Amino acid sequence: MSQYPINPDLVAPGALSDNERLKAESEHLRGTIERDLKDEITGGFNGDNFMLIRFHGMYQQDDRDIRAERTAQKLEPLHNVMLRARMPGGIITPQQWLAIDKFAADNTMYGSIRLTTRQTFQFHGVLKPHIKPMHQFLNSIGIDSIATAGDVNRNVLCTSNPVESELHQQAYQWAAKISEHLLPKTRAYAEIWLDEEKVETTEVEPILGDNYLPRKFKTAVVIPPHNDIDVHANDLTFVAVAENGQLVGFNVLVGGGLAMTFGDDATYPRMADDLGYVALEHTLKVAEHVVTVQRDYGNRSNRKNAKTKYTIDRIGLDAFRAEVEARTGVAFAPVVPYSFTSRGDRIGWVEGIDGKQHLTLFIENGRVLDFPGKPLKTGLAKIAAIHQGDLRMTANQNLIIAGVPAAQKAEIDAIARAHGLIDDGHSEQRKNSMACVSFPTCPLAMAEAERYLPELVTKVEALLGKHNIADEHIVLRVTGCPNGCGRAMLAEVGLVGRGPGKYNLYLGGNREGTRVPRLLLDNVAEADILATLDGLIGRWATERSNSSEGFGDFVIRAGVIAPVVVPKDDFHS
* % of the chain at pLDDT higher than 90: 96
- Of the CA atoms within 13 Å of residue 400, those in its CB half-sphere come to 30
Q: Return the closest-CA partner of residue 262 out of 561, 489, 509.
A: 489
Q: Which residues sit opposite 121 in a β-bridge?
A: 115
pLDDT, average across residues 331-340? 98
CA distances from 231 to 272, 371, 526 (A): 7, 33, 30
Q: How far apart are CA 428 and CA 465, in angstroms?
A: 12
- Of the CA atoms within 13 Å of residue 150, those in its CB half-sphere come to 31
The H or E element containing residue 221 is strand 219-222
pLDDT in tens, 54-110: 999 999 999 999 999 999 999 999 999 999 999 999 999 999 999 999 999 999 999
Given this model, what pLDDT does residue 132 score? 98
Q: Decide if pLDDT at 2 tops 90.
A: no
Q: Decide if pLDDT at 1 tops 70.
A: no
Residues 294 and 217 sit within 8 Å (Cβ to Cβ): yes
Q: Decide if pLDDT at 162 tops 90.
A: no
Q: How far apart are CA 107 and CA 84, in angstroms?
A: 15
- Mark out the alpha helices in 329-452 (DSSP H runs): 376-386, 409-418, 428-431
442 is known to lie in a ligand binding site: yes
Given this model, what pLDDT does residue 353 score? 86
**CA 521, 526, 529 angle in degrees (round to 5)?**
40
Given this model, what pLDDT does residue 3 score? 84
Identify the weakest region by mean pLDDT among 81-95, 120-134, 344-358, 380-394: 344-358
Residues 428 and 502 sit within 8 Å (Cβ to Cβ): no
Where b means 16+ CB within 10 Å and e means fewer, 482-514 reads bbbbbbbbbbbbbbbbbeeebbbbbbbbbbbbb
Which amino acid, 550? G
Q: Decide if pLDDT at 261 tops 90.
A: yes
Given this model, what pLDDT does residue 526 score? 98
CA distances from 53 to 145, 193, 357 (A): 11, 11, 40
Given this model, what pLDDT does residue 200 score? 75
Residues taking part in catalysis: 84, 154, 216, 218, 436, 442, 481, 485
Parallel, antiparallel or unpaired: strands 390-393 and 348-351:
unpaired
Given this model, what pLDDT does residue 140 score? 98
pLDDT, average across residues 274-282? 98
Which amino acid, 101? D
Residues 122 and 109 sit within 8 Å (Cβ to Cβ): no
> Is the preceding omega at residue 440 within 30 degrees of 0, hence cis?
yes
- Assign 202 a pLDDT band (cuts: 50, 70, 90): confident
**CA 456, 461, 466 angle in degrees (round to 5)?**
125
Task: Using DSSP, state whether 396 is helix, strand or coil.
Answer: coil
Identify the weakest region by mean pLDDT among 88-97, 201-210, 294-303, 495-504: 201-210
Q: Return the closest-CA partner of residue 150 out of 182, 176, 119.
A: 182
Kindly report the number of other CB atoms within 10 A of residue 564's CB atom: 25
Given this model, what pLDDT does residue 283 score? 98
pLDDT in tens, 475-534: 999 999 999 999 999 999 999 999 999 999 999 999 999 999 999 999 999 999 999 999
485 is known to lie in a ligand binding site: yes
pLDDT, average across residues 410-425? 97
Residues 58 and 82 sit within 8 Å (Cβ to Cβ): yes
Task: Tell me the domains of the chain and their CATH numbers.
Answer: 8-57+146-328 (3.30.413.10), 350-428 (3.90.480.10), 433-558 (3.30.413.10)
Q: How far apart are CA 153 and CA 237, in angstroms?
A: 12
82 class by beta-carbon count within 10 Å (0-12 exposed, 13-18 middle, 19+ buried): buried
Q: How far apart are CA 355 and CA 351, in angstroms?
A: 6
Task: Using DSSP, state whether 418 is helix, strand or coil.
Answer: helix
Mean pLDDT computed over every residue of the chain? 96
End-to-end, the C-alpha distance of the chain in Å comes to 39
Q: How far apart are CA 558 and CA 549, in angstroms?
A: 12
Given this model, what pLDDT does residue 557 score? 98
Q: How far apart are CA 179 and CA 124, in angstroms?
A: 24
Residues 290 and 252 sit within 8 Å (Cβ to Cβ): yes
Q: How far apart are CA 167 and CA 545, in angstroms?
A: 36
Parallel, antiparallel or unpaired: strands 219-222 and 236-243:
parallel
- Assign 161 a pLDDT band (cuts: 50, 70, 90): confident
Tallying the residues shown for the chain, one arrives at: 573
* % of the chain at pLDDT higher than 70: 100
60 compared with 197, residue with greater pLDDT: 60
